[in-house]
Amino acid sequence: MILVYGLGRSGLGVLRFLKARGLPARFHDDRPKKEEVAEALALGFQEDPDPQGYPLVVAAPGVPLAHPRLSALREGGAEVIGEAELAYRMSQTPIIGITGTAGKTSTTLFTAHLLRGQGLGALAGGNVDPPLVSVVDEAEVAVAELSSFQLERVVRFRPRVAVLLNLGVDHLDRHGSLQAYHGAKLNLLKNLTPEDALVYNEMDPKVREAALTSPARLYPFAPGETAKETNLRAALEATRAYLDLLGRSLDEGALRRSLETLPEPAHRFQTFARKGKVVFIDDSIATRTPSVAAALGAAPPPIAWILGGEDKGADLEPLRPLLPRVRVVLAIGRDGPRLARALGGVEVVEIPEKDGRAAMRRAVAEALKRLEEGSVLLAPLAASFDQFRDYRDRAQAFREAVLEMGGEPWTPSSS
């Protein structure tokens, strides 16, 4: 009997994956959502309110490894793994694994797109929608975006191509130290063999150091002038590496056609609506200081900045020079008010609503009271899990609130 610990997107995907194999399982969630429990029950699985005595536990990424219940289950003899490890163990589909502090989603989508252009049945999943377990059985090759939360619980997981983009600062609230965070990321490399490939950023000293100790075939890339160019270079090397493993050469004509139709990742500084002279920008993925700084520098001023959620150890200092562009900070979630007050030098409106959608409606309303032109920017600098399922759910709540309050869909021709 398997225990699936934590529902949400990943846990429900795992239950569907197990059901397809006829494997028995139960589920547990510390903060169960009625609709997710209903879906799990409809799949034929039962809830366990006090789980113990399981040999195998598949824990959702949002559940820390040090969680007391997971620790008790391990002490009782359970092996605790995650979605990526489960997919690797139970499917024969080769996996391309992609991680890094920044650029994972774009590189994952680009790589799958380029591989499809070469005639391969590549599907993307993992930290990006959908879960890896939801695509691995249908794919000829699965391209997996892997977060540190997922990689901290891999054991035997071995991608045929590993892509390591960069090692910066993030998730210190979860991992406790930069060393532990980097260690989780580097788990992507730990089982590579000379039969596998490693694509790596040769200009990141920590990445290069790790790559040069790997037995895998090495495919270095240099960053481009923009984030998109950097991610595309990594994706191209990942495509070359996988084709090399298959003994195939790159079809240059097909590559040119693929480059003309690259996918655009959602919720990354997307202007999606306007109301009068105010535009609304969804950058829900911006949870790190460099991403938020870029958003504040690019959004049309004056800016009503929606900030907050679960603080991951944000560095506020680089943001202070950009505050003259900000008219007001709308502070949502558990840590938004504290972060906003620590910035100083700007008006702060604390949004008290605990419910995420109610908070987002209030934030948009407060923004529109203060702006006659400029932009309302969702660039939260924090994780979403205190009020939302994930950053996508947070983005959807923002978009719904804007449209409810009279925002009209934006197109480049309407600017």
* Confidence at residue 177, expressed as pLDDT on a 0 to 100 scale: 86
Helix axes 391-404, 356-370, angle to 10 degrees: 50
Boundary of a domain, candidates 64, 81, 98:
81
The answer to whether residues 313 and 397 belong to one domain is yes
CB 378 within 8 A of CB 356: no
The answer to whether residues 174 and 308 belong to one domain is no
Q: Which parts of the chain have pLDDT scores under 70?
A: 169-174, 412-415
- Cα–Cα distance, 78 to 67 (Å, whole number): 14
* Confidence at residue 172, expressed as pLDDT on a 0 to 100 scale: 62
Boundary of a domain, candidates 260, 278, 296:
260
Boundary of a domain, candidates 260, 286, 316:
260
* Confidence at residue 62, expressed as pLDDT on a 0 to 100 scale: 84
- Cα–Cα distance, 193 to 216 (Å, whole number): 5
The answer to whether residues 283 and 386 belong to one domain is yes
CATH of the domain at 182: 3.40.1190.10
The answer to whether residues 198 and 234 belong to one domain is yes
The answer to whether residues 152 and 182 belong to one domain is yes
**Is the alpha carbon torsion for 258, 150, 269, 393 positive or negative?**
positive
- Cα–Cα distance, 280 to 297 (Å, whole number): 15
* Confidence at residue 401, expressed as pLDDT on a 0 to 100 scale: 97
Count the Cβ atoms, other than its own, within 10 Å of residue 20: 11
On whether residue 368 sits in a domain, the answer given is yes
Q: Name the DSSP class of 268.
A: S
* Confidence at residue 58, expressed as pLDDT on a 0 to 100 scale: 97
CATH of the domain at 36: 3.40.50.720
CATH of the domain at 324: 3.90.190.20
On whether residue 276 sits in a domain, the answer given is yes
| Binding site residue list | 100-106
The answer to whether residues 33 and 102 belong to one domain is no
The answer to whether residues 192 and 116 belong to one domain is yes
On whether residue 265 sits in a domain, the answer given is no
The answer to whether residues 286 and 153 belong to one domain is no
* Confidence at residue 414, expressed as pLDDT on a 0 to 100 scale: 53
On whether residue 414 sits in a domain, the answer given is no
CB 132 within 8 A of CB 143: no
How many domains, the chain?
3
The answer to whether residues 289 and 377 belong to one domain is yes
* Confidence at residue 313, expressed as pLDDT on a 0 to 100 scale: 83
The answer to whether residues 370 and 242 belong to one domain is no
Distance, first Cα to last Cα, the chain: 57
The answer to whether residues 206 and 91 belong to one domain is yes
Alpha-carbon 359 to chain mean position: 22
* Confidence at residue 152, expressed as pLDDT on a 0 to 100 scale: 92
pTM, 2 dp: 0.79
| Binding site residue list for ATP | 100-106
The answer to whether residues 298 and 195 belong to one domain is no
On whether residue 415 sits in a domain, the answer given is no
Tokens read off for 76: 């009782």
* Confidence at residue 182, expressed as pLDDT on a 0 to 100 scale: 92
- Quote the domain boundaries for residue 127: 85-260
